[in-house]
Each structure stands twice: as structure tokens, then as C-alpha cells.
Amino acid sequence: MPRTTTLECSGCPPLRALTFDALGLIKVVEARDKQRGAPLVVERWGDPESSKCVMAVSMIDRKSHPLLAVARKNNQIEVLSPVNGDIQATISDANDLDVQSEENNIVGLHLFAKQNSELAFRDCTLLTCTTKGNASIRSIELADSSKGSSCIKTWNVCSGGNILCCKVDGNEKFALFGGKCVEMNIWDLNNFTKIWNSKPPTKDNLGIFTPTCFTSATFLMKDDHRKFVAGTNSHQVRLYDVSAQRRPVLSFDFRETPIKALAEDIDGYSIYVGNGSGDMASVDIRTGKMLGCFSGKCSGSIRSIVKHPELPVIASCGLDSYLRLWDTKTRQLLSAVGFIPLFLCPWQHAI
């Protein structure tokens, strides 16, 4: 039987979030009561279909013409409005994306926000990466989606293994990749060259070497690509400093199941960790000290964690079919919404 915990939820401030699930549905969750009410599902976009399972998402969260990109299991990418769900453009040519089979799905997706404001209403630029390491950057026409996309550059970020995590820094100049049998590596997106590659930790006292398997990663600060945090399948969290060395400058174990989700705080040193057994905690990455665990045990693996850019609120979702909202200061549960989310999108402006 799954583990459950009954807690009194105090409600959350006005906010809006988007969730995505294995049936391809996009659900809009809103809390509108200024007296800390409970969030509710107010809209549902799309029809349930397993072939449209959401694999990766990215959003440009801005007040003027925001955009949302969704990569699906059938190797289709949709660019739509996060305000009303209207589709702006669609890429459905799998061969053009270098995706050959279901074993080579898109796992990394990023919408570039820093582009000419005059062109923002007409086109957008996307970075994609597949499980086998096929990466590409392309422009998509929004005004006339029948024109499809023009590919700017394609390259391969690994010669073997599987990519499991992909992240672009806040300045959108560098991209981070890692995965199963793939060491963390950073690429310069201006000239498409690899500028750094990590080394695995040395063997332990018993001479045992743990094979590389990175499951999640995030940059520690939005404007600094030199420091990032990575989670592994062997329940370890590692801090890397590109300017210092190729091996981790700090590492620690978190519980006993694989790390499944990581998120950074705006303070530049706190991170949020979620694992395969539903444990979630905040950690001071400068020392590796755990600041505390979030109250209200999740019953399933945590798959996504997103911090609100302004409010002291963090959201998590996973395999227990709940979206949970927490207070980052007290680490108490604010509210929980029951449905089947697998991914969260970066927050939209509070309503």
C-alpha cells in the first residue's frame, strides 16, 4: 500500500501553473482566492492519447506574447500560447529531428527567450536533444506554421550512452548535457563546441567504482554557467565548478533511491532535491547540509520540481498523481491537487 500522510493545508497565494501528463493533456491550475484558497484545475487542453505523452517542456514566461513548447512521445513538437492553449506552430517531421525510433525520444527542450523583440511575434528558436544525443537548434515560423522550421545547426553531444538531462543557462549561451554512461558536458551554443567535460569520482575505499548515470541537473545561478548541480541514479548529489576542476567539488548522498528532480533557489546556494521514493528536501549546496525536509510524504517518485520566481512557493509532482505546493520558508504543505501530472512548467505570472 502507498504511504499517505494527512495534513492540514493552509492554502496558497494567487498563482497559475501548468502541468503535463502521460496522456498528453495540459492542465491549468489556478489559485484565485486572495485569502489563500485552494488551487483548482480550471482548464484542460488537448485530448487523452498515449502517443502524445509529454516528454519535455519549455516556456518563455513574459507578460507580452509568452510561448510554450511541448515535445511529445510521437516526436512532435508543439508551440502554443500558455494563456489560452492556442497552437502557434507544429513540427511533426521526425526524420528532420533526427529521431529514428521510440528509443530516441526528445528528452531536452529549450525555448530561447533572448531574441529580437520585433521578431518575437513571428518566429521562435528551439534547442532539442534526443536520448541518443542528437541535438539541434532551429527557428520556427509562428505567423505561417505551414513553412515548418529551418534548421540552424545539428550536432551530437555524445558518442554512446543515453542522455537523460539537458539544461540551458540563464544567459542562453551554454547548454549542459548528461545521462546514463554520459559524463556531464557543457557546450558553447555560439560555436557549437564542447568546452568542458566532467570526470567520474575515484573508486571508494573498497575499490568499487559506480558507473556514471546522471538523472537530473540544474545551474546554481541563472547568470553563471560555471557552477551546476547534478543528481545521480546512485542517490548522490554533486556540485561541479567548471573553473576549479573536472571532478565534483562537493558530493553527498540523499536517502537511498535515485535522484529524480533538482531545482535551484534564487538565492544562488539553496537547492531542492526530490527522489524516487517521494522524499523532498532543501539543501545548502555550499556545505552539503540539509536545511530540512518538506512535510507531507509523497507516495510516489517525484519527477518535477519548480520554484516560483517571486513567491516563497515551490511545486512538485510525480507518480502519486498529485501536484503539491509548499512554503519554502517553513517547508509546510500549502495545498495538494489530485490528478495525474508528470511535469511542471515554469510558473506564469501570479493572477
State yes or no: pLDDT of 97 exceeds 90.
no
Residue scoring higher pLDDT (198 or 9): 198
184-204 exposure pattern, b = at least 16 Cβ within 10 A, e = fewer: bbbbebeeeeeebebeeeeee
Q: Which of 115-119, 176-180, 270-274, 284-288 has the lowest mean pLDDT?
A: 115-119
Pair 109, 52: CB distance under 8 Å: no
pLDDT confidence of residue 93: 60
CB atoms within 10 A of CB 249: 11
pTM to 2 decimals? 0.90
Find cell 518566429 and name the residue.
Answer: 123
Average pLDDT score over residue span 221-233: 95
pLDDT tens-digit map of 125-181: 999 999 999 999 998 888 654 555 666 799 999 999 999 999 999 999 999 999 999
Pair 313, 327: CB distance under 8 Å: yes
pLDDT tens-digit map of 40-55: 999 999 999 999 999 9
pLDDT band at 350 (very low <50, low <70, confident <90, very high): very low
Distance CA 173, CA 79 (A): 22
Domains in the chain with CATH codes: 49-154 (2.40.128)
Average pLDDT score over residue span 81-92: 91
Q: What percent of the chain has pLDDT over 90?
A: 66
